Structure 1
């Protein structure tokens, strides 16, 4: 399954998201491959949002969406009363942490609960024992330092009432407050902070843990690739990868790794550790196992706000023109001397003897975000990923 957002009501307002027409196309496309589509409508609704939400629901009522991800209880009740055929999934933003809460949501028509990230695996087992509805948990991706994502740091630091006289409105300070609970988080937890003593307001004291300073609010990324058998045995019905504003490279590579892990478990096969290393080749922060296990129950802060990138995402194949020519789109600069590695769902391999074409001419360089032609005798498929070593 994939989870996506429309133009409004999801917690990723800064990405393009889907129009109604694109949503229809996306659902139809996914269903052709036997995949499900879950639509995130999980903001914290104010009365000013509700009339628009009602209009939106009326506009999507005939789209065969497989589930609506919702946080707000009022929104859940309204959908259940007016569109009972929509399957409702409770968002992790509702921070559900116990069996009784799960039973309540089941009574009002929720089919699946995306549990709070603050639960341990043992607590999840208890919930599974006590409830019948489906349970979903996050297994990989960025983590919020605030409780189930309920953060007000962004609201505070971008609030125009905090502007000093003559202060220039910059990247993080807009005219409008950036509300994290409406999908417009400014990622304040990833900023670098200093200590200031009240009577010495112009003296900024570094909080130093090491040479990089400290990022006390910046949590590590979640990675449970080594623990999937335990999670399956705990009775979790669905695993979730955080990735709604990540690249096609990140999403495709992380997804194929976890797909392989799950398939190996059910086929009694051993996963190759070299394959697991693919998770280190996508852009990520330091990894941890979150709250799942007692030995690592706290979200340890990162040592830097920088991402780790072992590989450079070059682009991907869009279409097959003929036996030796492929239409592609670049994500970063591509030079003719790069050692290009191709990734498809089944394997990785090096692309031998290729040529880059732009405007019907052989070129030495392709710039970022350009459509170009790749000529090679190697057989490629649409949506194959192209990457190279990031140390070039």
Structure 2
């Protein structure tokens, strides 16, 4: 087993649990830096598996698959927060794993996540844990109206029900299968933002600029990153809170911390993602170090340098719905040629064979010299693709 202080230089093989688009972009970054790569994902057509040197086609908890990953690799990371923490812990007995299973386990459980925020002194929405009928009965009326969220396995708005009354709350808990849930008080939101930090084994921490985000139907649609996208005091508060959350986890790797900005200007933390994040994709074209290069640097013990954003940027999420603009069930390729006529447009598609409504198929990074130009270009691209203006 490598010591935590050892630097893993290019030429070694780096592994990732999960074969989705985040794994694919990690693989591309690692390969650009001279590393070999291995992906563990049972899907033979997984986006990351298709571009990796090695593709181990097993489930995340398969003993033989994990043993093969450990044999091939000098270090391992993950691209998906619902990878079993136990698999990460097992791999960590023989090689460096980042983030650690303990940190991923907290991100997988909203109740544990909320408790961690409280412990770190980071403000979050008022909440209650509901895992028993007694806890349901004891909920304070002040938490209504609220959003009931399953404590585990929720992402992109899944496993969430809005409730206004105690009767709706009880019905929602039944609808969600009476599993452990967290009820969060609904707060008057102005907008949302996120911070991506990268923390090394030695505790060094760097960050991407604070990102302003727009969600539609629970899925990130637009990220805007440029000077003035948020008031400076809000951005500084978000960055300090994100670093506190990462330090409190003794985190190693790339971590996204998502925030709600309330109408009174206050900031509350929403959730964490123990991996690169959609809202950091712009860094591929607008920064001198992308979130995926930061992921490689963290897991290999390479130095972390503070990323520099050199261009104002907007990221548009490209969902499968764009392939069905004409109606019907037959997909049609969007007009990428018209989009790419616009200066500063950078297309990233994920290599998924089939377009499906609601499925993340790619993203478009737009860069320009000024915030005004990047917004104008992004709005033109959105119009061409059939994405609602913002």
TM-score w.r.t. length of structure 1: 0.32
Largest Rg, 1 or 2 = 1
The answer to which structure, 1 or 2, has the higher relative contact order (CA under 8 A, 6+ apart) is: 2
TM-score w.r.t. length of structure 2: 0.32
